[in-house]
Structure 1
Amino acid sequence: MMQRLLKTGLCLGAAVLFTGCATSSGHTDYSAYKASRPRSIVVLPPLNESPDVKATYGMLAQVSYPLAESGYYVLPVALVDETFRQNGLTAAGDMHAVAPGKLREIFGADAALYIKVTEYGAKYRLLSSDTVVAATGKLVDLRTGTTLWQGAASSANSSSGNAGGGIVGALIGAAIAQAVNSTVDTSYKVAGAASNKLLSAGQPNGLLYGPRSPRYESD
């Protein structure tokens, strides 16, 4: 039965610096958001537009905490992913294509969060290595299909090598930093920072606080 419902709904270096930003175009209209008052959210596995195959689940693993801290009940992301897989949907694009009404019928959530990872992974330069994670998010009311909120955020970890000895030492340090970034999933930590910037309530043009938060505004 569920299968039919789903298918029919189609630290190394001289400096390690974390930076990031959350962005949204213009002023956010919260009227639909406030009228909807979602209490529970189902997070769909993110779409991956980066070349790193780890991006979808690296980001997915980070989203529950900021949403819960913002005052929402978040359906367990592993259970949601497994439900899709057990019913023949293994690609994030196919999961995102399921109609909002079907998602509500299956998971019972008030809203769905659609995430797209646009950057994920290391960018190597001559004297440094930058790990960047960038993503966009969209919150949709599953009862009406209305988009309640949209936003974007990014975070970066910049490692500059400096092993002494001028330019030669800098090159050696950069090579070591790049090797470490290749063997350690630095992107996973950066994804956590990007997720917090994207999904923590109370920021300019960000998510509103949910009903489980003491800062929730019911009016």
Structure 2
Amino acid sequence: MRTLYLKALFVLSAFGLLVGCANQQQPYDYTAFRESKPTSIVILPPVNKSPDVKATYSVLSQLTYPLAEAGYYVLPVALVDETFKENGLLNPEDMQAAPPAKLREIFGADAAMYVEVSRYGSTYAIISSETVVTASAKLVDLRSGKLLWQGAASASTAEQQQNSGGGLIGLLITAAVNQIANSITDKGHEIAGITSLRLLSVGRPNGLLSGPHSPNYGHDPIAGR
């Protein structure tokens, strides 16, 4: 019996170790980022892969703050968008397809932030209503064309919701009310702000490095820790 117990304990311990290793995030390789040392960033209007037409500019309006807080000079997004349109590039797909060298020539920035929105808006599933915004980003050096960093983040109203009882009828009513409120107030815009902070703020595992205007410049924690 004791032998069986020890074997079972060994198997469980080994399984726990494997799960822990699988869940551990691999450190990001910041070699190219540190060599590039970008000081200025142009944010390109996000490509929208969600069915909500508001996604591109809702997310775009939220991206400047975390990058500026991180210590980078960020070109005004409205001016960038207008410049593209004046040159015949009317949608984010065409804007993001422009050659890095051309973006460098036009905007003079060291790097460009390419963003894609995969989810945006509210979904209603009988007894639940949830607003989700999911986005990914990559930072590219406009002088060399090298990828410096990439990441993804998501946020949801489900993180804040708690069931307060009331049974099935209560859940149905709560879901309906949340769906109506989210649609009227565009809850997606608020959630997009949280997603943007998670995506572009420094200090999180495998996140962006601090820029030259940050007091933490050159002293970021080792990636993945």
TM-score category of the 2 structures, normalised to the smaller one: 0.7 to 0.9
Quote the residue 2:32 is aligned against: 32
Quote the residue 1:12 is aligned against: none
CA distance in 1 between partners of 2:219 and 2:34 (Å): 8
CA drift of 1:173 comes to: 2.4
Quote the residue 2:173 is aligned against: 172
CA contact (8 A) 1:47 1:116 kept: yes
Q: Measured at CA, do residues 186 and 132 of structure 1 come closer, stay the same or move farther in structure 2, by a change above 3 Å?
A: same
Q: Measured at CA, do residues 154 and 218 of structure 1 come closer, stay the same or move farther in structure 2, by a change above 3 Å?
A: closer
- 1:203 counterpart letter in structure 2: R
CA drift of 1:169 comes to: 2.9
Quote the residue 2:155 is aligned against: 155
Query: TM (normalized to structure 2)?
Result: 0.82
CA drift of 1:175 comes to: 1.4
CA distance in 1 between partners of 2:217 and 2:171 (Å): 50
Secondary structure, aligned partner of 1:61: helix
- 2:167 counterpart letter in structure 1: G
1:117 matches 2:117: yes
CA drift of 1:136 comes to: 0.5
Quote the residue 2:19 is aligned against: none
CA drift of 1:87 comes to: 1.1
Runs of 4+, deviation exceeding 6 Å: 161-164
- 1:76 counterpart letter in structure 2: P
CA drift of 1:167 comes to: 2.2
Q: Measured at CA, do residues 164 and 207 of structure 1 come closer, stay the same or move farther in structure 2, by a change above 3 Å?
A: closer
Q: Measured at CA, do residues 134 and 25 of structure 1 come closer, stay the same or move farther in structure 2, by a change above 3 Å?
A: farther
Quote the residue 2:195 is aligned against: 194
Q: Measured at CA, do residues 218 and 172 of structure 1 come closer, stay the same or move farther in structure 2, by a change above 3 Å?
A: closer
Higher normalized strand content (fraction of residues): 1
Query: TM (normalized to structure 1)?
Result: 0.84
Quote the residue 1:181 is aligned against: 182
Map residues 33-72 of structure 1 onto 2, 5 A cutoff: 33-72=33-72
CA contact (8 A) 2:130 2:179 kept: no
CA contact (8 A) 1:201 1:209 kept: yes
Map residues 4-19 of structure 1 onto 2, 5 A cutoff: none
CA distance in 2 between partners of 1:218 and 1:180 (Å): 43
Q: Deviations over 1:6-46 (max 9, x none)?
A: xxxxxxxxxxxxxxxxxx97321111110100000000000
Gaps of 5+ in 2: 1-23, 221-225
- 2:78 counterpart letter in structure 1: A
CA drift of 1:164 comes to: 7.0
CA distance in 1 between partners of 2:197 and 2:165 (Å): 36
Higher normalized helix content (fraction of residues): 2
Secondary structure, aligned partner of 1:217: coil
Secondary structure, aligned partner of 2:150: strand
State the superposition RMSD in angstroms. Answer: 2.0
Map residues 83-162 of structure 1 onto 2, 5 A cutoff: 83-158=83-158
Which protein has greater RCO, CA pairs closer than 8 Å, 6+ apart? 1
CA distance in 2 between partners of 1:114 and 1:25 (Å): 23
CA drift of 1:193 comes to: 0.3
CA drift of 1:170 comes to: 2.6
Q: Measured at CA, do residues 31 and 165 of structure 1 come closer, stay the same or move farther in structure 2, by a change above 3 Å?
A: closer
- 1:74 counterpart letter in structure 2: V
CA contact (8 A) 1:162 1:172 kept: no
CA contact (8 A) 1:161 1:170 kept: no
CA contact (8 A) 1:161 1:177 kept: no
